[in-house]
Amino acid sequence: MIFSPVVFVLLPLGTAFIIPLVDLLHVATRRILVIIAASFSLFIGVVMLVSALPELSAGTFFQSYHLSGWIPPFGITLALDGLGLVFSSLVTLFSFLIIVYSIGFIGHHEGKYYVLLFLFQAGCQGVVMTGDIFNLYVFIELSAITSYALVAFERNRSALEAAIKYMVYGILAGVFIFLGVIMIYRSLGTLNLAEIAAHFHRIPLPVQRTSTVFLLTGILIKLGIFPFHFWMAKVYGSAPASVSALLSGTLAKVNIYIFLRLFWFGTGFNVLSEAGWDRLLLGGALLSTILGHVFALRETEVKRMLAFSSMGNMGIIVAVLSLNTALALYAALIHVIFHALMKTGLFLSAGYFLRAREGSKERSFVGAAYRKLPIFIGFIIFALAMIGLPPLNGFFSKWFTLQAFLEKDIYFAIAFIHSGSVLGILYYLPFVRQGMLGVKRREEQKKFPSHNASVFYHERFVTSVVYILILFVVLSGLLPFVYPDPLETVIAELAEPNRYIERVLGGLIYE
Amino acid sequence: MNEVFPTMHTAHFLMGFGLLLMVLIGAYAARYYHTQRTLFYLLLAFFTMAFAIVIYTTDWIYFIIAWEGVTITTTAMIMWAERRLAAQYFLIQFTGSNILFFAIIMALREGYGMVSPIEEPWLQILFIFGLGTKSALLGLHFWLPPVHSRAHTPVSALLSGWSVNLGFVMMLRLLPEGNSVLFFTGLAMIFYGGARAFLSTDYKVLLAYSTLSQLGYIALGVGSGTVLGQMGAVLHMVVHGIAKTTLFLGSGLWEKECRGRIIYRFGQAFYHHPVNAVNTIVGFSSLMGMVFLAGFHTKNLIKHGTAEIYAVGFLLYGATLITVLYAMRFLWWGILKDIVTKTAQKSREKVSCYYRAGAYEKAPLMIGSLLLLVFGIYPPLIYMLMGVEDPQVVILWWPTMIENIFFLLGGVALLAVTKGLFFPVRPVPSLNRMLELVVTGTRKLSNGVYHLVFPSFQYQLLWIPLIILFFLIWINFS
């Protein structure tokens, strides 16, 4: 059964507005409502994905929704193609997992938290679904504003500082994207992405390029590519673990989606490549990769370390994308999915131990293995996947990425990726070692086994999410071999944006 | 199967003996591990599976997965003994695998769709580097002595007897024409490993360096590219595997009996354990290449395969001499001399340590010695198992025996003159210092780069107008 795209935006948006009402009536019902809403949207997502698979494999999947019945060039359109469906499924899956995790994890001001989380989900889904460049900006801002609040959720000094810095960067990025949108609108008189794509070549070249510069700068700030990477460690390190997981696992990937949608479908990649910016992008992204891995070495705080590792991996994704070959796009898509799984798992399992030993920051990982061994093994598995150890999924994304670089004879990129995975061992190992160290307890502490008492509302929720992610990380490595068709057709869609234009406009291209 | 191995039979032959060694190690481990025995057997099974894939596969992806499978299982096994060592081992092996991974990607690019002989010299070198990390080629060998000497006994046996061979199996498949770099590295390895084994005072360190020296013979055979040399290399993998596995298994018994591994303390124990003592003598004699033992035939094959090309026959005599020296030195201190009892008698202390070995511990040693003897006395058997014609290498028994006796007597004479060459006891080598340097170095680098790149907030923001300005100027000029 195929649902209309609008359902995916309206469902979390509606839930976000219902939560305060339920709060007024009965507080305990809230958790049930949250779980029901999250499961329902997951259910719809899974049903949609399963029933769309044949069409997705054949490359004919397309869904659109015209708000108030206005047909494309005039009204607001929601359009969902294969690429959108893949990212939408990612958003649905990770939102569900993190909502379930949060039920056990957050434990204070939950009403506000879930409102923000569902608004965030609606924003991300909106970004993925929309076929309108101004709405794209609106949804970007929706997801960004909620994420500022989520980052500041702990309300301590460092969280507030991080949120303010994040907000400054986010607003600047938003302003640049908005400037780009305005310039395009002034030149073409339309905001529909397909319409823009069809007519972008008519804009005078300087305007084309200037608007592209603004859009590109905005996106690069959002992605945290060098030299705009400064906010990342602070933000990921100070936010609650569930929020960091959401930012690194979902929001960063949605930003990759924006990058793809704007520059492959909107302006066309040749605008970048003719100006020679694809090379520039490649260089910046690769620099970002190696810097991320090197910075991670010095970190003694696990979430900051993970943030820098994220920076490295986002660099790899952008670098591969800038090659713009079929293999490169495939590798990037695979790495987007796999990195989301691994990094979410890492943040969530690290968050478990940080919460379990709250208050001690510096040596917060000490004794993790004795606190809960399966989760600690999970952390090790995620780390091994990150460094690309077969047969875990990270290996396969590394495999495709390397082949993509080799196809273009970019050897230093290959060296960067290999050194990244070797440095990966060096920066994950101290935490594994700390986790295996025993915790010394005084005699009077031994009488009260507070060490084993749970600090979570429902520990089962927290642990089960991590177990599910372990399962995904171990099994998803097979995906490119067992069922490669959908991802390949998605890549084919990227190669020919004209099909998207035709489908959205329904053949109504005004010359 | 491809045409890389002389026949498919070679793969079966290696696989069969690999399985046999795993069974021997498994039997020994039954008494060695009291707790978590199931886990050990599980890891052993995974290891077996992984090396089977390495030997048989023609697909690069399966090969690299299995290769890492070997790394993971051996790391998990080493973790029992020392977590830190396991982490260091993993780091080194993973770095090597990354080189190998790069080599595979390059091979794919050059059009080698499956595991097949490599033509390009630079690619051959890349593969030798990648595979050499696991097989401890000279220069990449630094991890071997610490790891092999510090791991638990069955794990050392597994690593030293079989795991190190896998790299050479792959080299045999990839470089059927041989490679001169490999050849000369092998030659240097024999002498380096032998010299270090000769200087060792710890039994397991001695065995580890001896492994390095014997791997030199295998590298020599594989690198020579001749039929006899490569056949000798394959046979030597098996024969050295049997000898080294049983020697390492025996070392565990000595360790328990003598409460340590310092070779000067072995004397008394030698007569308590006839099985282990016989196995030790047979194993070392096979390594020395004594007649009537399997090692003699394999070394003879390698010698015949290589001597004609590079005229290294003379050097190989020196290699035999050094092998004889380190083996004899151990046997001298092990059998003849007994410092412990003497000092104990002086101080009138009663030395009472006695470990009663079980059937599961004795049986693998007996089987190992028996195999070495049978193959030595009736070599056609091993050729038959390998599925090749008897190469009919000219073996003049009597001159060789005289030569052997000459070597043995020379060794004994040298030891008698120098009173057994007593070196002061040295600690077991460790990787800590080197790895510490790597860790502190990278951390320092990281800190330096961090302070260089990260300005305070208001300057961070300056990057944004700078980049935009840069882009706009770029537009103007392009």
Residues from B in contact with A at Cβ < 8 Å: 61, 64-65, 68-69, 72, 83-84, 87, 90-91, 94-95, 98-99, 101-102, 105-106, 108-109, 438-439, 442-443, 445-447, 449-450, 453-454, 457, 460-461, 463-464, 467-468, 471-472, 474-475, 478
Strand pairing partners for A66?
Answer: A77
Q: Residue A109 carries which DSSP code?
A: S
Domain for residue B346, yes or no? yes
Contact, B340 vs B244, CB < 8 A? no
Domain for residue B175, yes or no? yes
Q: Above 80 in pLDDT, residue A255?
A: yes
User: Exposed, middle or buried by CB within 10 Å (0-12, 13-18, 19+), for A448?
Assistant: exposed
Check residues A287 and B312 and name the one with the higher pLDDT: A287
Cα–Cα distances (Å) from A213 to A176, A177, A317, B473, in that order, read: 9, 9, 20, 11
Pick the residue from chain B with its C-alpha nearest to A406.
B109
CB B91 to CB A298 under 8 A?
A: no
Q: Which two tokens stand for residue A269?
A: 């990649």
Give the H/E segment covering residue A62.
Answer: strand A62-66
pLDDT per residue over A93-144, tens digit each?
999 999 999 988 888 888 899 999 999 999 999 999 998 899 999 999 999 9
Residues B412 and B465 in one domain: no
For residue A322, the model assigns a pLDDT of: 92
Residues B327 and B459 in one domain: no
Residue where one domain finishes, among candidates B395, B413, B430: B430
Crossing angle for the helix pair B227-258 and B274-288, to the nearest 10 degrees: 150
Q: Kindly report which listed range (A77-81, A261-265, B41-45, B399-403) carries the lowest average pLDDT score.
A: B399-403
Domain for residue B1, yes or no? no
Q: Which two tokens stand for residue A258?
A: 């924006």
Residues B323 and B421 in one domain: yes
Cα–Cα distances (Å) from A482 to A53, A76, A269, A479, A487, in that order, read: 14, 38, 31, 5, 12
* Torsion over CA: B361, B362, B363, B364 (sign): positive
CB A426 to CB B475 under 8 A?
A: no
Residue with tokens 């190989």: B316
Q: Determine which of B39, B74, B454, B471 to mutate to test the interface with A (most A C-beta atoms within 10 Å).
A: B471
Contact, A462 vs A352, CB < 8 A? yes
Say which of A213, A402, A433 has its CB closest to residue B468.
Answer: A213
- Looking at the complex, report in whole angstroms how far the Cα of residue A60 sits from the nearest Cα belonging to chain B: 32
d(CA B340, CA B282): 25
Contact, B78 vs B151, CB < 8 A? yes
Contact, A181 vs A133, CB < 8 A? yes
Per DSSP, helices labelled H in A357-458 are 368-371, 373-386, 393-407, 411-436, 443-447
| Amino acid identity, position A164 | I
For residue A226, the model assigns a pLDDT of: 85
Give residues with Cβ within 8 angstroms of B111, minimum separation 6.
none
Residues B459 and B392 in one domain: no
Q: Determine which of B88, B442, B452 to mutate to test the interface with A (most A C-beta atoms within 10 Å).
A: B442
Residues B399 and B469 in one domain: no
Q: Determine which of B53, B65, B100, B101 to mutate to test the interface with A (most A C-beta atoms within 10 Å).
A: B101
d(CA A65, CA A70): 10
Domain for residue B70, yes or no? yes
**Any chain B CB within 8 A of the CB of A213?**
yes
Residues of A numbered 317-336 whose beta carbons fall under 8 angstroms of chain B's beta carbons: which are they? none
| Average of per-residue pLDDT values in chain A | 88
Phi/psi class of residue A392: alpha, beta or left (left: φ > 0; alpha: ψ in -120 to 50)? beta
Q: Above 50 in pLDDT, residue A457?
A: yes
How many percent of chain A have pLDDT more than 90?
52
Neighbours of A130 (CB within 10 A): 25
d(CA A267, CA A497): 10
Residues B328 and B469 in one domain: no
pLDDT per residue over A45-74, tens digit each?
999 999 988 888 888 888 888 887 777 777
- Looking at the complex, report in whole angstroms how far the Cα of residue B186 sits from the nearest Cα belonging to chain A: 28
- Looking at the complex, report in whole angstroms how far the Cα of residue A23 sits from the nearest Cα belonging to chain B: 39
Say which of B61, B449, B472 has its CB closest to residue A294.
Answer: B449
Q: Determine which of A402, A408, A417, A434 to mutate to test the interface with B (most B C-beta atoms within 10 Å).
A: A402
Q: Which two tokens stand for residue B338?
A: 């007994």
Q: Dihedral (C-alpha) B431, B432, B433, B438: value to the nearest 10 degrees? A: 90
- Which positions in chain A touch B472 (Cβ < 8 Å)? 210, 213
Say which of B94, B447, B474 has its CB closest to residue A425.
Answer: B94
Domain for residue B283, yes or no? yes
What domain count does chain B have?
Answer: 2
The pLDDT confidence band at residue A90, using thresholds 50, 70 and 90, is very high
Domain for residue B2, yes or no? no
Contact, A126 vs A9, CB < 8 A? yes
Residues B268 and B189 in one domain: yes
d(CA A111, CA A116): 9
Residues B425 and B335 in one domain: yes
Contact, B3 vs B10, CB < 8 A? no
Neighbours of A465 (CB within 10 A): 27
Contact, A318 vs A310, CB < 8 A? no
Residues B205 and B236 in one domain: yes
Domain for residue B20, yes or no? yes
Pick the residue from chain A with its C-alpha nearest to B85.
A433
For residue B3, the model assigns a pLDDT of: 44
User: Exposed, middle or buried by CB within 10 Å (0-12, 13-18, 19+), for B188?
Assistant: middle
CB B453 to CB A221 under 8 A?
A: no
Residue with tokens 């040399």: B229
Q: Tens-of-pLDDT digits for all 478 residues of chain B?
A: 344 455 678 888 999 999 999 999 999 998 888 888 899 999 999 999 999 999 988 889 889 999 999 999 999 999 888 888 999 999 999 999 999 999 999 998 888 888 888 888 999 999 999 999 888 888 888 899 999 988 999 999 999 989 999 999 999 888 888 888 998 899 899 999 999 998 888 889 999 999 999 999 999 989 888 888 888 899 999 999 999 999 999 988 888 877 678 888 776 667 778 888 889 999 999 988 888 888 888 888 888 888 766 667 778 888 888 898 888 888 888 777 766 666 666 665 555 566 777 888 889 999 999 999 998 888 888 888 887 777 777 666 777 788 888 888 888 888 888 877 778 888 888 888 888 898 899 999 999 999 888 888 888 888 889 999 998 888 877 6
Which residue in A340, A284, A285 sits closest to A317, CA to CA? A285
Q: Is the peptide bond before A240 cis (omega within 30 degrees of 0)?
A: no
Helix (H, G, I), strand (E, B) or coil at B202: strand
Domain for residue B145, yes or no? yes
Say which of A276, A277, A426 has its CB closest to residue B442.
Answer: A426
Residues B460 and B407 in one domain: no
d(CA B102, CA B107): 9
Residues B372 and B467 in one domain: no
Q: How far is CA B199 from the centre of its chain?
A: 18
Residue where one domain finishes, among candidates B391, B412, B430: B430
- Looking at the complex, report in whole angstroms how far the Cα of residue B106 sits from the nearest Cα belonging to chain A: 8
Q: Above 90 in pLDDT, residue A218?
A: yes
Which residue in B315, B325, B92 sits closest to B216, CA to CA? B315
Q: Which two tokens stand for residue A493?
A: 């869609």
Cα–Cα distances (Å) from B350 to A189, A372, B254, in that order, read: 102, 49, 19
ipTM of the complex, rounded to two decimals: 0.88
Domain range spanning residue B350?
8-430
Average the pLDDT over A467-494 and give the result. 83
- Which positions in chain A touch B102 (Cβ < 8 Å)? 402, 414, 418
**Any chain B CB within 8 A of the CB of A53?**
no
Q: Between A and B, how many CB-CB pairs are < 8 A?
A: 105
Q: How far is CA B224 from the centre of its chain?
A: 20
d(CA A328, CA B179): 36
- Looking at the complex, report in whole angstroms how far the Cα of residue B121 sits from the nearest Cα belonging to chain A: 19
Residues B361 and B454 in one domain: no
Helix (H, G, I), strand (E, B) or coil at A191: coil
